[in-house]
Structure formats: C-alpha cells, structure tokens
Structure 1
Amino acid sequence: MEVKVYGTSWCEDTQRTLKQLSGFGVAYEYIDIEQDTEAARWVREQNGGKQRTPTLEVGGQILSVPDEEELESVLREKGFMA
C-alpha cells in the first residue's frame, strides 16, 4: 500500500483525513502510533521531534497534518486519483 496514515484514534485531524481518503475511494494503511512505538518514533523524526498527527506517506512524499486541498492535490499528482 502506498498511502500510509500515522495517527491516533482521538485526533480529529486524523479522523478527518481517514474520512477524506475513504470518500475518495483511496486505499490506505492506518497505523495507530499509540500502539506502535516505532511508528511514533518515525512520526517524530519526520516532524522535527514533534508528534504531529496525522503524518502521511503518499507515494514516498511526507505530509504533516495536510488540509483537504493539499491532500487531494498530492493524491492526484501521485496518481491515486483521476
């Protein structure tokens, strides 16, 4: 799977992003960083030591707390949406 979402179940931004991906019909892997310490470490590495959720990996590109327009743009650019 080339779209990975690193987040937490209680994070509103994470939940918004998951709903947006589902609405677009884009398959993704969700990793709960509260259940996966290596994933939590990776998120901090990508965000200058901060735990920002959601952090996404989309076709090799890292997005930190993207807004709806940014996420849609990158999904189209990477060929996940027409």
Structure 2
Amino acid sequence: MSDPSTGAAEHGPAVRARRHPHLWESSVQEIEVYGTAWCPQVTEVLARLDHAGVAYRYHDIDTNKKAAKTVYRLQRGTRRVPTLVLADGTVLVEPTDDHLRDRLATAAGTEQKEETT
C-alpha cells in the first residue's frame, strides 16, 4: 500500500481496490479522495476506505496543483480536506465516520440493485 505522504499522487494516483465480502457483495465504484499528508482526518478516511475494501484514487492537494484547483472549484473557493467525490457525483467535505459509512452503504446498495436488474 502506498502512503499518501510519499507524494504518490503527484506521479500517479494511489489506487486501492481490496474488497471485504462481508461488507458488500460488490465493490463500490472508485472514489476520488482529495487530501493532504499532514491532516489526521484524511488519514482516518483513507484507513476507513482501506478497511472497507473500497477502491479510491488519492490526490494530495499540497503536491498536485490540478487537484488543489479541483478542491477549490468543488468547494466554491475553500480548501477543506478530506474531500471525497463519489461515483454518483456526490461531494463529501470533512465527512464524519457515520456519514461516510452511511454514504458508502447507500452507494453499495444502489450498485447491487443495478447488477440484479
């Protein structure tokens, strides 16, 4: 696993795609995560995504100017991290553990329904 503090996002995104079948039958589509290496909340969100087996692409906004501009655009001029963009376009800014867990469960449920239809 890549450490966000290594600047892996600057040279290429760090993508993690582990799955835990007891959480979901299928993985949630990849999530875009914008953060900084020094923010403990970013580290917590990445750990939660890793634990849940959710695929994501990490962008360090301190080392990637394009990612920083994306965060400014998504937040209409502010720069708060972590910022997550879910596959359905939903933007989460500094989500609580409960909010993140609920959104991931909702996304996984939606994907499962689409696969069965």
Per the normalisation by structure 2, the TM-score is 0.64
Match of 1:41 in 2: 69
Kindly report the root-mean-square deviation, in angstroms, between the aligned alpha carbons of the 2 structures: 1.9
Greater relative contact order, per chain length (Cα 8 Å cut-off, separation 6+):
1
Residue segments in structure 2 that go unaligned for 5+ positions in a row: 1-28, 113-117
Match of 1:72 in 2: 101
Distance (whole Å) between structure 1 residues aligned to residue 45 and residue 61 of structure 2:
15
Identity across matched positions, percent:
35
List per-residue Cα deviations over 1:60-79 (Å, max 9, x = no partner): 21000000011111111111
Structure 1 runs (4+) deviating above 2 angstroms are none
Q: What amino acid maps onto 2:42 in structure 1?
A: T
Per the normalisation by structure 1, the TM-score is 0.90
In the TM superposition, what are the counterparts of 1:17-56 in structure 2 within 5 Å? 17-56=45-84
Contact 1:2/1:57 (8 A) holds in 2: no
Q: What amino acid maps onto 1:7 in structure 2?
A: G
Match of 1:58 in 2: 86
